[in-house]
Amino acid sequence: MPRPGFVLDVDKSTPPILFHHGEGFRLEKLPADRSRVIYPGEPLDALDDVEAEIQAALLNPLEMDPLPELLNPGMKLTIAFDDVSLPLPPMKRPDIRQRVIEAVLDMAAAAGVDDVHLIAALALHRRMTEDELRHAVGDRVYDAFAPQGALYNHDAEDPDNLAYLGETKHGEEVEINKRAAESDLLVYVNINIVSMDGGHKSTATGLASYRAIKHHHNVHTMEHSKSFMDRHNSELHHSNWRMGKVIADAGVKVFQIETTINNDTFGDALPMSVLAKREWEWTAKDRVSFIGMQQGLKRISGSTRRKIFQAHRAPYGVTSVTAGAIEPVHERTLQHCFDQHLVEVEGQTDILTMGLPYICPYNVNSIMNPILVMCLGLGYFFNMYRGKPLVREGGVLIMTHPTPWEFHPVHHPSYIDFFEQVLADTTDPKEIEQKWEKQFAEDEWYRHLYRTSYAYHGVHPFYMWYWGSHALKHLGRVIIVGGDKRAVHRLGFKAASTLNDAFEMAEDVVGRHPTITHLKNPPIVMADVK
Amino acid sequence: MADKKGLEKLASSVQKARAKVPPVRALVSQTSFPYRAPTTPLTVEPKPEEPTLLGHYDSDWARKLPARYARFFLTEGLVRPVIAGLAQPERKGLDRLADLEGPVIFAANHHSHLDAGLLITSLPEPYRHQVFAAAAADYFFDTRVKATASALVLNAIPIERTKVGRRSAEQAASLIDDGWSMIIFPEGGRSPDGWGQPFRGGAAYLAIKCDVPVVPIHLAGTGRILPKGKSRPKPQRTVVTFGTPLRPAEGERSQPFSDRIEAAVAALADEATTDWYSARRRAAAGETPTLAGPETGAWRRNWALTANRKTSSTTKRWPEL
């Protein structure tokens, strides 16, 4: 029986707590009697027979006819699937998308469907490489469809392959992939690693153009998404739901297949397995293994360290497969997510600490640059709450990460210019949005790289910054421990060498003897703050 | 002079000593029981000799620890490099085995002596070193040397294919029950012409008896490296395609289950020569080409066989101008 997540009150006998620190780790002693640690739940039991569950979901969908009844020989079928940003880290083969897509195609084969396209729904993310596509959909599907040009990445800047479907009552334009819009059936295969994913967002964002996405990926929306992990209180999701209605009204029939995975991020094999254990339960073997890993990591170059970490594949277990109409499917999926991630927490804190790991949705097989550090900490981890933020308004956020001044030149070209040019000018999201966004979003060179190379869209670093705008507005100070000082200052944050130094610096903002809460993530945990 | 005399003296003393030692033949003929085997009285019917070869070969020693270590080093140090050099295998569909637990039966088509080695080196852990092969008793166990080599290298047990016997099946079942997985070629022998032969029911029978899944596997290309009748191998590329594990349905008998295994291998063959979705389309429509090939004259069967080979690259030979 897996143990649920819980809140540990730190006392004198609490051992040092493991903090992720990019491609490394820190063991930090938290002050006794005023600190607490939010631990994630242990991995929920995985489904015994995933194939059987997929079959059951496809044959008994929610509020839709069984999938075989929606398939016929002359139809146009499109299968869209989540891109390389999910799950994190990538899962061991076979990926759940592959399993679901193969089951869908088996039914399509039985129905004699000829016209099938598969599209990686990557919105404004970088295109997936052949290896990444093969990992997601499997070699069989790739070899059957890619050579004919029937498996490809969505292109949000291809005017010939986008369909304008109308606008919402709020004036938001809806434009999505033309093939998906014109298909008799669009099957969307998703992985809900966190509660932000899925629902109408899958199609309304994943298959949309910049023209549509800009209506919800902006400072106003993000500041009013409290949090974007809580879909019912998220302006980001309200906007996507409105767009979903426009898509449905335009006659696009979506058969949504959502899946959830458990918290088995690090598996049972040492040394990675120790990262998921509670510190006081580390055995002698765990400790030796951890020390060995730390010493080993210290002695190798940064790029080798990155390669080792990026090669990790998580042995996630699948906890649910739900298919049918988008809204009922998503409600059920959210419940599965919350079952795994949600931990009840009493009240807010003065200082929130978090150890940032080596990966976020936008640096799979890539480099975690300073903008992504900001996005992971202030965007994703800060928003891992329901109810109220974990830290009080005006409180301090302390993150540990090396924050190197380093960028992937192929994946993140516009990030480099954003960092050098835009952040040197201002770090205020609203000012950045008004003054700089259009120039980057419409830049022909960035557009060319997005469409033909493996670059994120020119506007993407702006969205990363907006992602943290709710936190920026809420917090009194942000401190990064162990980061590159120049890079940290460019982000507009304070740099500290040690956690104790950071606590000292935080006291200037929140007063003496502040309360401290550490969000121990990953594996994923989400606070239900009362 | 003194040296010459000394040598003559030495030679004569050696001769004398040799004369004192009886010849070996004389020694043997002079030894008696119990140093010699007893003779059988003329009035007594001699006890028939216990057969120790063919289907009676006892290969238990090959699963003891020293033999397992030896096999590990042989597999990884000899068989794997040889297979890599000769067969350059591409392995597909291993992801279909992700959920497997416990012993299984790996059932593949059979073209060449290389098949067993190729298959064993293609298996994922933990199966690769916890597997035994069902080998034809009349071929692999007819001499002491071949039997010992088969047992050591392939962990083979003898299977009678010319007569019906329980011994082989019981031994295989007992090993499966002990946690060993099994490699079997249900066609019963190598293909004589590159096309498949009908599957026999052994794999299905054992799967039902031991309640274990069968993994269908298609091996492509080994028939061109070392086909039946040839002794000099010719290196070629091979493809090993693993299929979705099959389990016997409730109450299913051996023959229908064996037919399903054969159909699954045929679908994998189709997948290896075309692509997965086209193969699924044909399977759904009941149009999967059979392993046995067209029922036509020999040259047309050969013709069809060469036509079936998938071209290695999907890239265009010439750029579009």
From first to last of the 321 residues of chain B, give the pLDDT tens digit: 556 778 888 888 888 888 777 777 776 666 666 666 666 666 667 767 777 777 778 888 888 899 899 999 988 899 899 999 988 899 999 999 988 889 999 999 998 888 888 999 999 988 988 999 888 888 888 888 888 988 888 898 888 776 656 777 888 899 999 999 999 998 887 777 778 888 888 889 999 999 999 999 999 888 878 877 777 888 888 899 999 999 998 888 989 999 999 999 999 999 888 889 999 999 998 888 888 777 776 666 666 666 655 544 444 555 554
Which is higher by pLDDT, B290 or A311?
Answer: A311
For strands B181-184 and B131-136, give the pairing. parallel
Length of chain A: 530
And the tokens for B77? 């140090």
- Please tell me what DSSP assigns to residue B77: I
The whole-angstrom separation of Cα A440 and Cα A417 is 9
CB contact under 8 A, A50 and B99: yes
Nearest-Å Rg of the Cα atoms of chain A is 22
The whole-angstrom separation of Cα A264 and Cα A244 is 32
Write the CB contacts of A445 (distance below 8 Å, at least 6 apart in sequence). Answer: none
Average confidence score pLDDT of chain A: 96
pLDDT, residue A292, reads 93
Amino acid sitting at position B182: M
The whole-angstrom separation of Cα A190 and Cα B68 is 45
Q: How far is B284 from chain A (nearest CA, A)?
A: 5
And the tokens for A354? 């978090």
Give me the DSSP letters along A54-91. HHHHHHS-BSS--HHHH--TT-EEEEEEE-TTSSSSPB
pLDDT, residue B221, reads 85
| Residues A405-430, mean pLDDT to the nearest whole number | 97
For strands A349-355 and A391-400, give the pairing. parallel
Residues of A in contact with B93 (CB under 8 A): 139-140
Considering chain A, what percentage of its residues have pLDDT values greater than 90?
Answer: 98
Query: A218 with A205: CB under 8 angstroms?
Result: no
End-to-end CA distance of chain A: give it in Å, rounded. 26
**Bridge partners, residue A496, by sequence:** A481
> How high is the ipTM of this complex?
0.73
**Bridge partners, residue A254, by sequence:** A186
Write the CB contacts of A440 (distance below 8 Å, at least 6 apart in sequence). Answer: A414, A417, A418, A422, A446, A458, A459, A461, A462
**Bridge partners, residue A176, by sequence:** A163, A208
pLDDT band (50, 70, 90) for residue A27: very high
| pTM (predicted TM-score) | 0.83
**Cis upstream peptide for B34 (omega within 30°):** yes
- Please tell me what DSSP assigns to residue B311: P
The burial class, CB within 10 Å (0-12 / 13-18 / 19+), for B151 is: buried
Considering chain A, what percentage of its residues have pLDDT values greater than 70?
Answer: 100
pLDDT, residue B321, reads 47
pLDDT, residue A174, reads 98
The whole-angstrom separation of Cα A251 and Cα A242 is 15
| Residues A77-84, mean pLDDT to the nearest whole number | 98
Suggest the residue from A101, A143, A145 to mutate for an interface test with chain B (most B CBs closer than 10 A): A143
Query: A101 with A189: CB under 8 angstroms?
Result: yes
Residue (of A481, A92, A1, A20) closest to A274 by Cα position: A20
Query: B83 with B118: CB under 8 angstroms?
Result: yes
Q: What backbone phi and psi angles, to 5 degrees, belong to B276?
A: -60, -45
**Bridge partners, residue A39, by sequence:** A6
CB contact under 8 A, B98 and A141: no
The whole-angstrom separation of Cα A505 and Cα A507 is 5
| Maximum separation of any 2 CA atoms in chain A, in Å | 71
**H or E element, residue A509:** helix A499-510
| Residues A293-301, mean pLDDT to the nearest whole number | 94
User: In sequence order, which ranges of B108-253 are alpha helices (DSSP H)?
Assistant: 114-122, 137-140, 144-154, 166-177, 202-210, 222-225
Q: How far is A207 from chain B (nearest CA, A)?
A: 24
The whole-angstrom separation of Cα A130 and Cα B52 is 56
Suggest the residue from A140, A148, A151, A316 to mutate for an interface test with chain B (most B CBs closer than 10 A): A140
Helix, strand or coil for residue B301? helix
And the tokens for A105? 């195609």
CB contact under 8 A, B314 and A147: yes
pLDDT, residue B313, reads 47
